[in-house]
Amino acid sequence: MIDLEVPRRLRPLVESAAAMADEVFRPISRKYDRAEHTCPTELDVMAALIDGMGRSGASGGAGATGAAKESPKSSQDKGIRNGANLSSVLSILETSRGDVGLTLSLPRQGLGNAAIAAVANEEQKLRYAGRWAAMAITEPSAGSDSGAIRTTAVRDGDEYVLNGEKIYVTAGERAELVVVWATLDRSLGKRAIKSFVVERSNPGLRLVRLEHKLGIRASDTAAFVLEDCRVPARDLLGDPEISTAGGFGGAMQTFDNTRPLVAAMALGLTRACLDLTRELLAAEGVEIDWDRPGAVQSAAAARLLQLEADYASARLLTLRAAWMADNGIPNSMEASMAKAKAGRTCVTVALACVELCGATGYAERELLEKWARDAKILDIFEGTQQIQLLVVARRLLGLTSAQLT
């Protein structure tokens, strides 16, 4: 059974990530919000620190690179794993409390790294180790419906030739690799979709533009065109044998691991908003009494109590989804629950905190207005709120995507 306490062996990781948020990310947060598309060079040392924690084994894997799908436990294995997925969630929660955009800008901690950890074979994991990978799924005509991907991959000898367009690729300019989702045969629908690891330097992968965004401006968001982009066959992610029966299911396993990570980002930002708002209100004489019901406290205190309860429920859902992944338990529904709850809670809390703090919350003298801008993307990427609820409904009702759309 899941233990709600942070495992003892993961506490040094959580403390280090919290220190990074407070001492590195928070002081430069506004700087890179204003200097959009400027690479935060301060993060190079931090990335090396995370790499070191991951290699030491003490953390169980830190950052997005650590997330991986564990094999189901045998009947003889009665132990409980607190592994790479839980440690990744806990560390990302803390760094996102400092700044979500900077968390997404940490070298070698991209969502593509989580995709590789989730579905690559052992040889591929070794070959891509230590490299920064972005993930390219979304297309102009395929947003929430990943099964509608139009980018094609055609086998040509020992290579695949990729053609198509990808948009909203987080860390696309700075990453060394890009995990590109493409279809082997459009007529086969979702079954033919596979993911390919493409070198960022590949001449067939052309950067079109960097997006100017509402929030997470420290993180670059790129658009690419793939024109006769040749990729070695061994860079098809996962099993090198091509089997269209269930190919999309293998690619979709990525989301079971990355959705809890995005939920953790939302939790970190939510925690930051709540902590700062409580401090600002306390300075004005508004204190929360945790032992008294909200109905007998001030309106501001009652609202904060409600927001804290929403945060707690989102946190528990996220920890559960990560714990299930560590223990080889199918977690597709739980991962979507966590992402849906944490993303919506983050937006609600961020906007409520701006409102509670009035002019101080709306002005740039505090980070609350920035966090309100950053929050919205956490309810959108890695599957919108609506898609998460659709996944949950299908799982609860036992229906396929064809039966419930």
Residues with a known catalytic role: 382
Task: Give the whole-angstrom CA distance, residue 153 versus residue 402.
Answer: 24
Structure tokens given for 44: 């190079």
Task: Give the whole-angstrom CA distance, residue 62 versus residue 92.
Answer: 8
Task: Give the whole-angstrom CA distance, residue 92 versus residue 55.
Answer: 17
Structure tokens given for 261: 């990570």
Name which of 291, 311, 293 is nearest 352 in CA terms.
Answer: 311
204 contact partners, CB below 8 Å, separation of at least 6: 162, 226, 227, 228, 229, 230
- Is the backbone of residue 63 left (phi > 0), alpha (psi -120 to 50) or beta? left
Q: What is the DSSP string of 218-277?
A: TS-EEEEEEEEEEEEGGGBSS-SS---TTHHHHHHHHHHHHHHHHHHHHHHHHHHHHHHH
Neighbours of 150 (CB within 10 A): 14
Cβ-contact 335, 255 below 8 angstroms: yes
Task: Give the whole-angstrom CA distance, residue 30 versus residue 299.
Answer: 31
Give the rounded distance of the alpha carbon of 57 from its chain centre: 22
> Residue 63 — φ and ψ, nearest 5°?
75, -175
